[in-house]
Structure 1
Amino acid sequence: MQQLTSQALEHMIPPPTQTSILIIGGAEDKVHGREILQTFFNRAGGAKAQLAIVPSASREPGLQGERYQKIFEEMGAKEIKIFDIRERHHCENTEWHSYLDTSCTGVFLTGGDQLRLYSLLADTPLMSKIRVAAREGRMALAGTSAGAAVMSHHMIAGGGSGESPNRSLVDMATGLDIMPEVIVDQHFHNRNRLSRLISAITSHPERLGLGIDEDTCAMFEAQEKLKVIGKGTVTIVDATEMSYTNASKVGAADPLSLFNLRVHILSHGDEYNIRTRIPIASQSL
C-alpha cells in the first residue's frame, strides 16, 4: 500500500482546529448518563458513527478496547474497529489505513500510560492520518486520561503533587502534537496537580495550561473555542502576561516565583477562546 510520509502529511495540517476534539480528564462516566462519551458519539455521527478505538496506552488493551466497544455498541454505532496496536509495526495494518481513509468518523484514545501510547504511535503514517483528519474536520477525536495528556506537543509524562511549584515536580516529554497550543494535565483537582501544571507552563509560557478534572471534558470546536462538559472543572493557566519568574535563578527543587499569572476555572457550559484568551460564561444559567 502506498502511503504518504509523516512529513508530507504534516504539511497538509491547517493551523486551526475545525472539528470536535475532546480532551477528557479521565474516569468519565461509563455507566449512567455517559454525557461525555455520548457527546463524542454524537460528534462522530451518532447512529452513522464508524469508530476506531485505540487502547494501546493500557496494560490490558484487549479488555480496555472491548469495554469501550460495548459502550459504543449500546449507543448504536454503525461500525467499530479496535486498533489493537502493541508493536509499532502494527501501525502498518492496511485494513486500518483503509478504514481511516474511507469510513472512519471518530477515533477514541483510551487511558493508561501516555509514554507507551507515544512510543507506539509517534511519527507513524497511521497517527499522522488521524491527526490530519481531526484537524481538518473529517473526524471527531477523543482522548481520556493518558489519551488526553498525549494530545499536547510538550507533554506531561509524570511527576508529583502536593508541593509548591518547582521544576522537579513535573517530567516532560514529547506528545503526539494533536493540540500543540496546550499542555494538558488530567485527574486534575482529584490528584492535586495544580502545582505540577504551573511548573510545566513555567518552561513553556507560550502554551496554555489545561487542568481537566475527572468526568470532565474540554471540547474543542471551530473558531478555536473550547467548551467544558461534565461534572468537574477545567483550570486554565495562562502565562502570556507573566512579568517575572525566578526559574532560571533557582535549583530544580526550589520553589518558583511567578508574577502576573492568569488562572481561570471553568465549569459545565463555560467556554474559552484559546486565540483571544477570553473566557465566556455559560449561557444556560
Structure 2
Amino acid sequence: MSLVKHNAILAIGGAEDKVHGKEILHTFFERSGGTAACIGIIPCASRDPVAISGRYQQIFTDMGVTNTVVMDIRDRDQGEDPNWKTIIEPCTGVFITGGDQVRLCGLLADTPLIDIVRQRAQLGEITLAGTSAGAAVMGHHMIAGGGSGESPNRSLVDMAIGLGFVPEVIVDQHFHNRNRMARLISAMTMQPNRLGLGIDEDTCALFEGDGSFQVIGKGVVTVVDPSTMTHTNEPDITAADPLSAHGLGLHLLAHGDRFDINHRQILATNR
C-alpha cells in the first residue's frame, strides 16, 4: 500500500538543518511532490535575497527538484504585478525564507501574489513552508519584534498583522534558543483568542488540513494556550508594568507529538 503525502503548511523555527539529514527540508520536498515538485522560493524577508534563494535552490536541486522559481520582489509594485498568478500556478510548493518579518509583510501583505499563495495553501493545493521570519508571519497577528530576558510585560513585544496562512496561531521562532518565553506570554495576554506557538531552531510545526499539527525536528514546540486563562491585568497596566496571567495552558511538544488546534488538545501518537 502506498502512502499518500498530503499538502501541508510548515512553520519552521529557523536554523533548520541544511547540511546533514535535512529532515525538515526533506519533509517539505516530499510534501511538495518530491522530484516532480515545482518549488517557488520567496526570499523577500532577506536583505541578501540572491544569496539566500540560491542556497535553497541548490538544496532542492540536490534533492532532485528540476523546477524552481525565485520570486525576488524588492518593492510593493512588483508584488502587485498580476503576472505572478501565472508564475505561481504550476508551483506545488512555496518556501518563504528567513530575514525580517516586518520587511516581508511590508513588501507582500495584501498583494495578489500572497493572496494566491494563502488561498492555495489553505485549500491544500500546495505545500507552504516558512522559516524564521517566514514562520513569524504565519498567523493573522504577528510578533514583529521585542526583547527577552525580563519579566513578561507589554513593552516586551511589538505586535503587527501577519500574512494569515494559519490565522489562529501566533508564532515566535528561535524560541528557547533566544529565551523568548516571556515575549510569547506577553503576546498571548493581548490576544487571548489565539494559540501561541514558540518554535525552537531546527524544529517545525507541520499543519495538516484537519486543523492539527505535528512536531518534527530536533527541538520543542511550546504551546501557550490562553483559552484557559482566568485573569490577566493586561488591560489595566502600563506598558512597563509586570503582567499577571492566571491559568494559562502550557504544553511542550517534541518530535512526533501532535496537537489539535480546534479543540486545544494533545492527540494520540503512533509510537
Normalising by structure 2, report the TM-score.
0.96
Partner of 1:91: 79
In the alignment, residue 237 of structure 2 is paired with which amino acid? Answer: V
**C-alpha contact 2:82 2:112 (8 A) present in aligned 1:** no
The percent of aligned pairs where both chains have the same amino acid is 60
Contact 1:44 1:105 in 2 (8 A): yes
Contact 1:19 1:135 (C-alpha < 8 Å) held by counterparts: no
2:58 to 56, 59, 70: 70
What are the within-5 Å matches in structure 2 for residues 92-111 of structure 1?
92-93=80-81, 96-101=84-89, 103-111=90-98
Partner SS state of residue 222, structure 1: coil
Specify which of 17, 26, 34 is matched with residue 29 of structure 1.
17
Cα distance, 1:94 vs structure 2: 5.6
* Residue matched to 2:3: none
Give 2:69's match in structure 1, choosing from 81, 90, 99. 81
Is contact 1:145–1:187 with CA below 8 Å preserved after alignment? yes
1:94 and 1:207 map into 2 onto residues whose CA distance is 32
Q: Provide the C-alpha distance between the structure 1 equivalents of 2:167 and 2:80, rounded to a whole number of angstroms.
A: 25
Query: How far apart are 1:177 and its partner, in Å?
Result: 1.1
Cα distance, 1:96 vs structure 2? 3.4
Shift in Å, 1:206: 0.5
User: Alignment partner of 2:250: what SS?
Assistant: strand
2:219 to 225, 228, 232: 232
What is the DSSP-based 3-state SS (H/G/I as helix, E as strand, rest coil) of the residue aligned with 1:70? helix
Distance 1:72 1:95 in 2: 24
Per the TM alignment, residue 93 of structure 1 is displaced from its structure 2 partner at its CA by 4.7
**Shift of residue 249, structure 1, vs aligned partner:** 2.2
Match in the other structure for 2:147: 160
Task: Tell me the CA shift for residue 78 of structure 1.
Answer: 2.9
Residue 268 of structure 1, CA deviation = 0.1
Which of 223, 228, 250 is residue 263 of structure 1 equivalent to?
250
Quick check: 1:181 aligned with 2:175?
no
CA apart distance, 1:207:
0.1
Q: How big is the shift at 1:250? A: 1.9
Residue deviations 1:183-223, cap 9 Å, x none?
00000000000000000000100000000000000000021
- Confirm or deny that 1:42 pairs with 2:30: yes
Amino acid at match of 1:176: L
Aligned mates of 2:177, 2:30 — CA distance in 1? 28
The answer for unaligned runs of 5 or more in structure 1 is 1-17
Q: Which residue of 1 aligns with 2:126?
A: 139
Aligned partner of 1:115 in structure 2 is 102
- Partners of 2:60 and 2:225 lie apart in 1 by 35
User: Does the CA-based 8 Å contact 2:82-2:113 persist in structure 1?
Assistant: no
Alignment match, 1:52: 40
